[in-house]
A and B are shown apart, each in its own frame.
Chain A
Amino acid sequence: MAHIQIIDEADATGTLAEDYAFLSSSYSNALGTEMATPQVYRTNSVVPAYFRFGAVQNRVLTGDGAHDHAPGPVPEIMVMFAISMYSACFY
Protein backbone atom coordinates (compact mmCIF):
# COMPACT_ATOMS: atom_id res chain seq x y z
CA MET A 1 0.00 0.00 0.00
CA ALA A 2 1.12 3.54 -0.68
CA HIS A 3 1.73 5.36 2.58
CA ILE A 4 -0.40 8.35 1.67
CA GLN A 5 -4.00 8.80 0.64
CA ILE A 6 -4.77 7.84 -2.94
CA ILE A 7 -7.86 8.83 -4.93
CA ASP A 8 -8.52 6.00 -7.38
CA GLU A 9 -10.29 6.11 -10.73
CA ALA A 10 -13.65 5.29 -9.23
CA ASP A 11 -13.63 8.40 -7.06
CA ALA A 12 -11.85 10.75 -9.46
CA THR A 13 -13.62 13.76 -10.94
CA GLY A 14 -12.67 16.67 -13.20
CA THR A 15 -9.10 16.81 -14.50
CA LEU A 16 -8.14 13.87 -12.30
CA ALA A 17 -10.67 11.63 -14.06
CA GLU A 18 -9.54 12.91 -17.47
CA ASP A 19 -5.90 12.21 -16.67
CA TYR A 20 -6.63 8.74 -15.31
CA ALA A 21 -8.45 7.93 -18.54
CA PHE A 22 -5.61 9.24 -20.70
CA LEU A 23 -2.89 7.40 -18.78
CA SER A 24 -4.76 4.12 -18.90
CA SER A 25 -5.28 4.47 -22.64
CA SER A 26 -1.65 5.46 -23.22
CA TYR A 27 -0.29 2.40 -21.42
CA SER A 28 -2.92 0.15 -22.98
CA ASN A 29 -1.89 1.40 -26.41
CA ALA A 30 1.79 0.81 -25.67
CA LEU A 31 1.36 -2.71 -24.33
CA GLY A 32 -1.50 -3.87 -26.52
CA THR A 33 -3.67 -4.93 -23.62
CA GLU A 34 -5.98 -3.17 -21.20
CA MET A 35 -3.88 -1.45 -18.51
CA ALA A 36 -4.82 0.51 -15.43
CA THR A 37 -2.91 3.70 -14.66
CA PRO A 38 0.43 2.66 -13.10
CA GLN A 39 1.04 3.23 -9.41
CA VAL A 40 3.70 5.88 -9.92
CA TYR A 41 1.13 8.43 -11.01
CA ARG A 42 -1.31 7.71 -8.21
CA THR A 43 1.00 9.14 -5.56
CA ASN A 44 -0.10 12.61 -6.60
CA SER A 45 -3.82 12.04 -6.84
CA VAL A 46 -4.67 14.11 -3.76
CA VAL A 47 -3.30 17.20 -5.52
CA PRO A 48 -4.71 17.07 -9.07
CA ALA A 49 -2.32 19.77 -10.37
CA TYR A 50 0.59 17.39 -9.79
CA PHE A 51 -1.30 14.41 -11.17
CA ARG A 52 -1.76 16.53 -14.30
CA PHE A 53 2.02 17.09 -14.39
CA GLY A 54 2.57 13.32 -14.50
CA ALA A 55 0.03 12.98 -17.27
CA VAL A 56 1.58 15.80 -19.29
CA GLN A 57 4.98 14.14 -18.99
CA ASN A 58 3.50 10.92 -20.31
CA ARG A 59 1.93 12.86 -23.17
CA VAL A 60 5.28 14.39 -24.06
CA LEU A 61 7.15 11.10 -23.78
CA THR A 62 4.62 9.18 -25.85
CA GLY A 63 3.40 11.74 -28.37
CA ASP A 64 0.01 12.03 -26.66
CA GLY A 65 -0.24 8.29 -26.26
CA ALA A 66 0.65 7.41 -29.84
CA HIS A 67 4.09 6.00 -28.93
CA ASP A 68 5.43 7.02 -32.33
CA HIS A 69 8.68 8.76 -31.39
CA ALA A 70 11.58 8.29 -33.76
CA PRO A 71 14.26 6.13 -32.10
CA GLY A 72 17.39 7.91 -30.85
CA PRO A 73 20.96 6.58 -30.67
CA VAL A 74 20.01 4.78 -27.45
CA PRO A 75 16.43 3.76 -26.63
CA GLU A 76 14.75 6.35 -24.42
CA ILE A 77 13.71 3.65 -22.00
CA MET A 78 17.38 2.81 -21.48
CA VAL A 79 18.22 6.40 -20.54
CA MET A 80 15.33 6.38 -18.11
CA PHE A 81 16.45 3.08 -16.65
CA ALA A 82 19.92 4.51 -16.04
CA ILE A 83 18.47 7.49 -14.19
CA SER A 84 16.41 5.12 -12.04
CA MET A 85 19.40 2.91 -11.35
CA TYR A 86 21.61 5.74 -10.13
CA SER A 87 18.71 7.10 -8.09
CA ALA A 88 18.47 3.68 -6.42
CA CYS A 89 14.77 3.86 -7.16
CA PHE A 90 13.18 0.82 -5.60
CA TYR A 91 10.13 1.16 -7.80
Chain B
Amino acid sequence: MLLPLYPDPAVRQQILEDAQSAPIPDIQKEMFRFAERFVRNSWEMGPDDLARLREAGLSEADVVSWATLGSTQSWFTMSADGGGIPLEGDAAVGPGVGLTRERYEATAEGLLAPAIGEPVTAPTAPRSEVAWVGMDLESEGYREAARWAEDRYGFVPNLLRAASLQPGYYRRHLLALELLERPQSEPLSGTHHAMVRALVSQITRCTYSQPTARALLARECGDGAWDRIAAGEAVTDGDAQERVVLDFAAKVARNAYKVTEKDAQGFRDVGLDDAAYVDVLNTTSIQVALDRMANALGVRPDGRPILPR
Protein backbone atom coordinates (compact mmCIF):
# COMPACT_ATOMS: atom_id res chain seq x y z
CA MET B 1 0.00 0.00 0.00
CA LEU B 2 2.84 2.37 0.88
CA LEU B 3 4.91 1.64 -2.17
CA PRO B 4 2.90 3.51 -4.86
CA LEU B 5 2.13 6.39 -2.47
CA TYR B 6 5.77 7.08 -1.66
CA PRO B 7 8.12 5.66 -4.33
CA ASP B 8 11.25 6.92 -2.54
CA PRO B 9 12.37 4.17 -0.12
CA ALA B 10 14.03 6.72 2.20
CA VAL B 11 10.74 8.61 2.57
CA ARG B 12 8.88 5.37 3.22
CA GLN B 13 11.31 4.43 5.93
CA GLN B 14 11.04 7.85 7.54
CA ILE B 15 7.26 7.64 7.57
CA LEU B 16 7.43 4.28 9.28
CA GLU B 17 9.89 5.61 11.85
CA ASP B 18 8.37 9.06 12.46
CA ALA B 19 5.92 10.52 9.97
CA GLN B 20 6.11 13.97 11.58
CA SER B 21 9.73 14.40 10.52
CA ALA B 22 9.28 12.95 7.03
CA PRO B 23 9.57 15.23 3.96
CA ILE B 24 5.86 15.16 3.15
CA PRO B 25 3.22 17.93 2.92
CA ASP B 26 1.90 19.34 6.20
CA ILE B 27 -1.61 18.08 5.54
CA GLN B 28 -0.25 14.55 5.29
CA LYS B 29 1.58 15.01 8.57
CA GLU B 30 -1.71 16.07 10.15
CA MET B 31 -3.34 13.01 8.68
CA PHE B 32 -0.69 10.72 10.19
CA ARG B 33 -1.06 12.48 13.54
CA PHE B 34 -4.82 12.05 13.41
CA ALA B 35 -4.49 8.37 12.48
CA GLU B 36 -2.07 7.66 15.30
CA ARG B 37 -4.33 9.21 17.92
CA PHE B 38 -7.38 7.58 16.38
CA VAL B 39 -5.84 4.11 16.65
CA ARG B 40 -3.89 4.39 19.87
CA ASN B 41 -5.78 6.69 22.22
CA SER B 42 -8.94 8.00 20.61
CA TRP B 43 -10.48 8.62 24.04
CA GLU B 44 -7.98 11.43 24.60
CA MET B 45 -8.98 13.27 21.44
CA GLY B 46 -10.75 16.58 21.78
CA PRO B 47 -12.07 19.53 19.79
CA ASP B 48 -8.50 20.73 19.32
CA ASP B 49 -7.66 17.64 17.28
CA LEU B 50 -10.43 18.49 14.83
CA ALA B 51 -9.52 22.19 14.84
CA ARG B 52 -6.03 21.24 13.65
CA LEU B 53 -7.55 19.43 10.70
CA ARG B 54 -9.65 22.45 9.74
CA GLU B 55 -6.59 24.69 9.99
CA ALA B 56 -4.80 22.29 7.66
CA GLY B 57 -7.52 22.86 5.08
CA LEU B 58 -10.09 20.15 5.71
CA SER B 59 -13.79 20.89 5.38
CA GLU B 60 -16.29 19.58 7.93
CA ALA B 61 -17.19 16.81 5.51
CA ASP B 62 -13.48 15.93 5.15
CA VAL B 63 -13.13 15.68 8.93
CA VAL B 64 -16.06 13.28 9.12
CA SER B 65 -14.62 11.40 6.16
CA TRP B 66 -11.29 10.80 7.90
CA ALA B 67 -13.03 9.55 11.04
CA THR B 68 -15.24 7.30 8.94
CA LEU B 69 -12.34 5.95 6.92
CA GLY B 70 -10.45 5.39 10.15
CA SER B 71 -13.35 3.44 11.55
CA THR B 72 -13.70 1.36 8.42
CA GLN B 73 -10.01 0.56 8.17
CA SER B 74 -9.89 -0.27 11.89
CA TRP B 75 -12.29 -3.10 11.18
CA PHE B 76 -10.20 -4.29 8.24
CA THR B 77 -6.98 -4.40 10.24
CA MET B 78 -8.55 -6.37 13.08
CA SER B 79 -10.32 -8.69 10.69
CA ALA B 80 -7.06 -9.38 8.87
CA ASP B 81 -4.94 -9.92 11.95
CA GLY B 82 -7.63 -11.78 13.83
CA GLY B 83 -8.05 -14.28 11.02
CA GLY B 84 -4.34 -14.89 10.59
CA ILE B 85 -4.67 -14.65 6.86
CA PRO B 86 -1.71 -14.96 4.49
CA LEU B 87 -0.34 -11.83 2.86
CA GLU B 88 -1.39 -10.88 -0.64
CA GLY B 89 1.40 -11.12 -3.18
CA ASP B 90 1.68 -7.36 -3.50
CA ALA B 91 1.46 -6.49 0.18
CA ALA B 92 3.73 -3.56 0.92
CA VAL B 93 2.88 -2.67 4.49
CA GLY B 94 5.01 -5.29 6.19
CA PRO B 95 7.63 -7.39 4.41
CA GLY B 96 7.41 -5.17 1.34
CA VAL B 97 9.05 -2.36 3.25
CA GLY B 98 11.38 -4.50 5.29
CA LEU B 99 9.23 -5.01 8.37
CA THR B 100 8.61 -8.36 9.97
CA ARG B 101 6.22 -9.60 12.62
CA GLU B 102 9.15 -9.68 15.05
CA ARG B 103 9.80 -6.03 14.36
CA TYR B 104 6.20 -5.13 15.04
CA GLU B 105 6.13 -7.07 18.25
CA ALA B 106 9.32 -5.41 19.43
CA THR B 107 8.36 -1.83 18.66
CA ALA B 108 4.61 -1.50 18.77
CA GLU B 109 4.05 -2.94 22.20
CA GLY B 110 1.00 -1.54 23.91
CA LEU B 111 -1.34 0.49 21.83
CA LEU B 112 -2.02 2.50 24.98
CA ALA B 113 -5.29 0.80 25.80
CA PRO B 114 -5.67 0.17 29.54
CA ALA B 115 -5.21 -3.28 30.99
CA ILE B 116 -8.10 -5.18 32.47
CA GLY B 117 -8.67 -3.92 35.97
CA GLU B 118 -7.24 -0.46 35.35
CA PRO B 119 -9.66 2.32 36.24
CA VAL B 120 -11.72 3.40 33.27
CA THR B 121 -11.66 7.15 33.12
CA ALA B 122 -14.00 9.27 31.09
CA PRO B 123 -12.63 11.72 28.52
CA THR B 124 -12.19 15.20 29.88
CA ALA B 125 -12.84 17.08 26.65
CA PRO B 126 -16.08 19.07 26.71
CA ARG B 127 -19.08 17.66 24.87
CA SER B 128 -21.16 19.74 22.53
CA GLU B 129 -24.86 19.12 22.08
CA VAL B 130 -24.32 16.30 19.58
CA ALA B 131 -20.71 16.20 18.38
CA TRP B 132 -17.70 18.37 17.56
CA VAL B 133 -18.43 18.44 13.85
CA GLY B 134 -20.93 20.12 11.59
CA MET B 135 -24.06 18.29 10.48
CA ASP B 136 -26.58 18.28 7.68
CA LEU B 137 -29.83 16.86 9.01
CA GLU B 138 -31.84 17.81 5.93
CA SER B 139 -30.33 15.42 3.39
CA GLU B 140 -32.34 12.48 2.14
CA GLY B 141 -29.54 10.15 3.22
CA TYR B 142 -29.76 11.31 6.81
CA ARG B 143 -33.55 11.27 6.86
CA GLU B 144 -33.65 7.71 5.59
CA ALA B 145 -31.18 6.61 8.25
CA ALA B 146 -33.12 8.51 10.91
CA ARG B 147 -36.36 6.79 9.93
CA TRP B 148 -34.66 3.41 10.16
CA ALA B 149 -33.32 4.23 13.63
CA GLU B 150 -36.65 5.60 14.85
CA ASP B 151 -38.39 2.42 13.79
CA ARG B 152 -35.78 0.17 15.34
CA TYR B 153 -34.68 2.01 18.47
CA GLY B 154 -37.35 4.63 19.05
CA PHE B 155 -34.85 7.49 18.62
CA VAL B 156 -32.01 8.65 16.38
CA PRO B 157 -28.58 7.93 17.93
CA ASN B 158 -26.23 10.92 18.00
CA LEU B 159 -23.65 8.84 16.15
CA LEU B 160 -25.87 8.96 13.08
CA ARG B 161 -26.30 12.73 13.40
CA ALA B 162 -22.53 13.17 13.75
CA ALA B 163 -21.98 11.18 10.55
CA SER B 164 -24.52 13.14 8.52
CA LEU B 165 -21.97 14.92 6.32
CA GLN B 166 -20.99 11.54 4.87
CA PRO B 167 -24.41 10.00 4.18
CA GLY B 168 -22.94 7.45 1.78
CA TYR B 169 -21.62 5.56 4.80
CA TYR B 170 -24.99 5.09 6.47
CA ARG B 171 -25.37 1.64 4.94
CA ARG B 172 -22.25 0.65 6.80
CA HIS B 173 -23.11 2.33 10.11
CA LEU B 174 -26.63 0.92 10.25
CA LEU B 175 -25.46 -2.59 9.50
CA ALA B 176 -22.76 -2.23 12.17
CA LEU B 177 -25.33 -1.23 14.78
CA GLU B 178 -27.58 -4.10 13.75
CA LEU B 179 -24.77 -6.67 13.93
CA LEU B 180 -23.84 -5.50 17.41
CA GLU B 181 -27.30 -6.15 18.79
CA ARG B 182 -26.84 -9.90 19.20
CA PRO B 183 -24.54 -12.80 18.30
CA GLN B 184 -24.58 -13.73 14.62
CA SER B 185 -23.68 -17.39 15.10
CA GLU B 186 -25.29 -20.26 16.99
CA PRO B 187 -22.27 -21.21 19.10
CA LEU B 188 -21.79 -17.80 20.72
CA SER B 189 -24.21 -17.15 23.58
CA GLY B 190 -25.96 -13.82 24.17
CA THR B 191 -24.22 -13.72 27.53
CA HIS B 192 -20.74 -13.96 26.03
CA HIS B 193 -21.66 -11.45 23.33
CA ALA B 194 -22.80 -8.94 25.96
CA MET B 195 -19.63 -9.50 27.98
CA VAL B 196 -17.49 -8.80 24.94
CA ARG B 197 -19.32 -5.56 24.20
CA ALA B 198 -18.94 -4.43 27.80
CA LEU B 199 -15.25 -5.26 27.96
CA VAL B 200 -14.47 -3.58 24.65
CA SER B 201 -16.32 -0.37 25.47
CA GLN B 202 -14.31 -0.22 28.69
CA ILE B 203 -11.03 -0.76 26.85
CA THR B 204 -11.85 1.96 24.31
CA ARG B 205 -13.06 4.17 27.17
CA CYS B 206 -15.96 5.12 24.96
CA THR B 207 -18.52 7.05 26.95
CA TYR B 208 -20.77 6.93 23.91
CA SER B 209 -21.10 3.14 23.66
CA GLN B 210 -20.85 2.29 27.36
CA PRO B 211 -24.53 2.92 28.26
CA THR B 212 -25.60 0.49 25.53
CA ALA B 213 -23.01 -2.13 26.46
CA ARG B 214 -23.88 -1.75 30.11
CA ALA B 215 -27.62 -2.16 29.52
CA LEU B 216 -27.06 -5.20 27.33
CA LEU B 217 -24.80 -6.78 29.95
CA ALA B 218 -27.25 -6.05 32.79
CA ARG B 219 -30.00 -7.73 30.81
CA GLU B 220 -27.88 -10.86 30.36
CA CYS B 221 -25.90 -11.04 33.60
CA GLY B 222 -27.39 -8.67 36.17
CA ASP B 223 -26.30 -5.30 37.53
CA GLY B 224 -23.00 -6.31 39.11
CA ALA B 225 -21.46 -7.75 35.96
CA TRP B 226 -20.16 -4.43 34.62
CA ASP B 227 -17.97 -3.81 37.65
CA ARG B 228 -16.71 -7.39 37.67
CA ILE B 229 -15.61 -7.10 34.06
CA ALA B 230 -13.96 -3.76 34.79
CA ALA B 231 -12.06 -5.41 37.64
CA GLY B 232 -10.99 -8.36 35.49
CA GLU B 233 -13.06 -10.75 37.59
CA ALA B 234 -15.10 -13.69 36.34
CA VAL B 235 -18.74 -12.90 35.78
CA THR B 236 -20.02 -16.46 35.71
CA ASP B 237 -18.39 -18.99 38.02
CA GLY B 238 -17.06 -22.14 36.44
CA ASP B 239 -17.47 -20.97 32.84
CA ALA B 240 -14.28 -21.99 31.04
CA GLN B 241 -15.46 -20.34 27.85
CA GLU B 242 -15.84 -16.91 29.44
CA ARG B 243 -12.14 -16.34 30.04
CA VAL B 244 -11.16 -17.57 26.58
CA VAL B 245 -13.71 -15.30 24.93
CA LEU B 246 -12.80 -12.22 26.98
CA ASP B 247 -9.04 -12.70 26.73
CA PHE B 248 -9.35 -12.94 22.97
CA ALA B 249 -11.59 -9.88 22.76
CA ALA B 250 -9.13 -7.88 24.84
CA LYS B 251 -6.22 -8.96 22.65
CA VAL B 252 -8.05 -7.97 19.47
CA ALA B 253 -9.12 -4.62 20.91
CA ARG B 254 -5.60 -3.73 22.07
CA ASN B 255 -3.14 -5.48 19.79
CA ALA B 256 -4.85 -7.52 17.09
CA TYR B 257 -1.49 -8.14 15.43
CA LYS B 258 -0.61 -10.41 18.34
CA VAL B 259 -3.37 -12.88 17.52
CA THR B 260 -2.06 -16.30 16.54
CA GLU B 261 -3.36 -19.74 15.70
CA LYS B 262 -3.23 -20.53 19.42
CA ASP B 263 -6.12 -18.16 20.00
CA ALA B 264 -8.32 -20.07 17.59
CA GLN B 265 -7.23 -23.34 19.16
CA GLY B 266 -8.13 -21.92 22.56
CA PHE B 267 -11.72 -21.60 21.42
CA ARG B 268 -11.77 -25.19 20.21
CA ASP B 269 -10.27 -26.43 23.48
CA VAL B 270 -13.27 -25.12 25.43
CA GLY B 271 -15.87 -26.39 22.99
CA LEU B 272 -16.31 -23.30 20.83
CA ASP B 273 -15.87 -23.48 17.07
CA ASP B 274 -14.50 -21.16 14.40
CA ALA B 275 -17.88 -19.49 13.94
CA ALA B 276 -17.84 -18.41 17.58
CA TYR B 277 -14.28 -17.15 17.10
CA VAL B 278 -15.32 -15.08 14.09
CA ASP B 279 -18.31 -13.79 16.02
CA VAL B 280 -16.16 -12.57 18.90
CA LEU B 281 -13.61 -11.15 16.46
CA ASN B 282 -16.28 -9.12 14.68
CA THR B 283 -18.19 -8.06 17.76
CA THR B 284 -14.90 -6.69 19.03
CA SER B 285 -13.70 -5.11 15.81
CA ILE B 286 -17.02 -3.49 14.94
CA GLN B 287 -17.35 -2.13 18.47
CA VAL B 288 -13.78 -0.78 18.45
CA ALA B 289 -14.32 0.76 15.02
CA LEU B 290 -17.46 2.61 16.07
CA ASP B 291 -15.99 3.59 19.43
CA ARG B 292 -12.94 5.19 17.85
CA MET B 293 -15.18 7.18 15.55
CA ALA B 294 -17.44 8.30 18.41
CA ASN B 295 -14.43 9.25 20.51
CA ALA B 296 -12.74 11.15 17.69
CA LEU B 297 -15.86 13.11 16.75
CA GLY B 298 -16.84 13.78 20.36
CA VAL B 299 -20.27 12.24 20.04
CA ARG B 300 -22.41 12.93 23.07
CA PRO B 301 -24.03 9.87 24.70
CA ASP B 302 -27.68 9.43 23.80
CA GLY B 303 -29.03 9.10 27.30
CA ARG B 304 -30.48 5.70 26.50
CA PRO B 305 -29.09 2.49 25.06
CA ILE B 306 -29.14 1.67 21.37
CA LEU B 307 -31.13 -1.53 21.64
CA PRO B 308 -34.12 -2.68 19.58
CA ARG B 309 -37.51 -1.80 21.01
Contacts and interface: CB of A to CB of B under 8 A. Distances in A.
Contacts of A32: none
Interface in B259-292: 260-261, 264, 274-275, 277-279, 281-282, 286
Nearest to B31: A74
A54 to B, nearest CB: 7
Nearest to A69: B168
Contacts of B40: 86
B137 interface: no
A23 to B, nearest CB: 13
Contacts of B38: 83, 86
Interface string B172-191: 10011001000011000000
Interface in B25-63: 27-28, 31-32, 34-36, 38-40, 56-58, 62
Main secondary structure of the interface of B (DSSP, over half): helix
Given A39-B88, A89-B93, A44 B282 contact: yes
Contacts of A44: 79, 83, 278, 281-282
A91 B62 contact: no
A91 B5 contact: no
Interface residues of B, number: 71
Given A3-B260, A91-B91, A53 B69 contact: no
Interface stretch (B70-78, B125-133, B143-151, B218-226): B70-78
Interface string B78-116: 111111111110010110000001001000100100000
A82 interface: yes
Contact of A74 (B28, B72, B85): B28
Contact of B169 (A2, A47, A60, A81): A60
B282 A39 contact: no
B39 A87 contact: yes
A79 to B, nearest CB: 5
A57 interface: yes
B16 interface: yes
Interface size class of A (residues with CB under 8 A): 35 or more
Given A60-B169, A74-B31, A76-B69, A83 B184 contact: no
Contacts of A72: 62, 65
A67 to B, nearest CB: 14
B258 to A, nearest CB: 9
Nearest to A59: B171
Contact of B264 (A3, A56, A78): A3
B282 to A, nearest CB: 4
B257 interface: yes
A63 to B, nearest CB: 8
Contacts of B264: 3-4
Contact of A87 (B1, B65, B77): B77
A40 B278 CA distance: 13
Contacts of B58: 73
Contacts of A59: 171
Contact of A82 (B32, B83, B184, B185): B32
A21 interface: no
| A-B interface, 10 closest residue pairs, ranked by CB to CB distance from nearest | A43-B83, A82-B35, A91-B80, A3-B261, A3-B84, A88-B108, A89-B77, A83-B73, A86-B39, A39-B85
Interface of A: 1-5, 38-44, 46-47, 49-50, 52-54, 56-57, 59-61, 63, 72-91
